[in-house]
């Protein structure tokens, strides 16, 4: 009986240890969670999607503007910190003019005189301050409710956003089908952002996320790391694109706007991973 009690004791202890390990591992198991994030003034329900990888890093985004609301990643001491400026409710995002973490389009940047000419045809846009069109206009993509769907594969967990922009939207020609995908890699603290746009006519497009107002104080070191590792080299075409407009004359718009020796796309000093086949 004593031997049996000892064996039962050892078995129970081993079972408890295994259970503890399983619980500890599950705390950082990759997952995708979705939850309500309120409603817009127009009554559209907004969903918040939270991604988490095996290492504990997490990324949160909402349907409104495909906005990144949180990126919790370990600092040099291993402590998880949020490196994204954010707002607490959907109402604050609707009225916020800094566009924290949102996708900007149809054209990120300023267009002088709120017009451009493409294939001999002049297109008038919404004029803002100093008679310029900024980031596509007052109702740019950062102020739209996109549809979303969670995605998952062996390498990553993520969320994919979809926006349908009709021809003439904001004054731009051609209907546009835009997908923005956020992928958090399961085994590395790496967030990938993918853009894909398809148009029904020649148009102009320049998509980006607003990093200049995204990284707060805890993220300054991250910003310096990005800057030190990024050496964008503008080609003559991309230099002209900054002064005029980069034209998309194919049916499938591609990643914009600068060439980069590592195969990354660069826009407004911000670098995002881009598949080589889509790099212009």
Instruction: Tell me the pLDDT tens digit for each residue of 101-143.
Output: 889 888 888 888 888 888 899 998 888 778 888 777 778 898 9
Give residue limits of the domains in the chain: 29-231
d(CA 174, CA 107): 13
145 within 8 A of 43, measured Cβ to Cβ: no
Query: How many CA atoms lie less than 13 Å away from 61 in the CB half-sphere?
Result: 32
CATH code for residues 29-231: 2.70.98.10
Alpha helix positions (H), 65-196:
90-95
Cα gap 9→3, rounded to integer Å: 10
For residue 275 the two structure tokens come to 């598949």
**How far, rounded to the nearest angstrom, does the alpha carbon of residue 244 sit from its chain's CA centroid?**
26
Per-residue pLDDT at 269 exceeds 50: no
The β-bridge partners of 52 are: 31, 58
Residue 95 has pLDDT above 70, yes or no: yes
Q: Which residues pair with 159 in a beta bridge?
A: 150, 182
Residue 140 confidence (pLDDT): 86
**pLDDT recorded at residue 27:** 54
Residue 3 confidence class, pLDDT cut points 50, 70, 90: low
CA distance 116 to 278: 24
């Amino acid at each position: 009986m004593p031997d049996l009690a000892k064996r039962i004791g050892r078995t129970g202890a081993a079972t408890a240890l295994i259970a503890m390990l399983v619980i500890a591992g599950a705390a950082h198991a990759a997952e995708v969670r979705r939850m309500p994030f309120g409603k817009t003034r127009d009554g559209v329900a907004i969903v918040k999607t939270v991604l988490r990888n095996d290492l504990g890093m997490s990324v949160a985004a909402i349907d409104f503007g495909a906005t990144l609301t949180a990126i919790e990643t370990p600092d040099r001491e291993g402590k998880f910190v949020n490196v994204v400026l954010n707002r607490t409710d959907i109402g604050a995002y609707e009225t916020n003019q800094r566009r924290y973490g949102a996708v900007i389009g149809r054209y990120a940047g300023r267009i002088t005189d709120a017009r451009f000419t493409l294939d001999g045809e002049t297109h008038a846009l919404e004029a803002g301050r100093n008679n310029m069109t900024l980031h596509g206009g007052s109702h740019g993509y950062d102020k739209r409710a996109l549809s979303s769907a969670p995605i998952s594969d062996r390498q990553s967990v993520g969320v994919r956003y979809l926006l349908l922009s009709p021809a003439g939207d904001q004054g731009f020609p051609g209907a546009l089908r835009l997908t923005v995908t956020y992928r958090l890699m399961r085994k590395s603290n790496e967030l990938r952002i993918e853009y894909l746009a398809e148009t029904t006519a020649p148009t102009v497009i320049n998509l980006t996320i607003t990093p200049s107002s995204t990284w707060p104080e805890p993220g300054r070191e991250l910003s310096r790391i990005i800057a030190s590792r990024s050496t964008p080299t503008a080609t003559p075409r991309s230099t002209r694109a900054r002064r005029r407009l980069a034209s998309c004359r194919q049916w499938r718009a591609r990643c914009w706007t600068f060439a980069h020796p590592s195969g990354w796309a660069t826009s407004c000093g911000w670098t995002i991973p881009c598949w080589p086949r889509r790099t212009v």
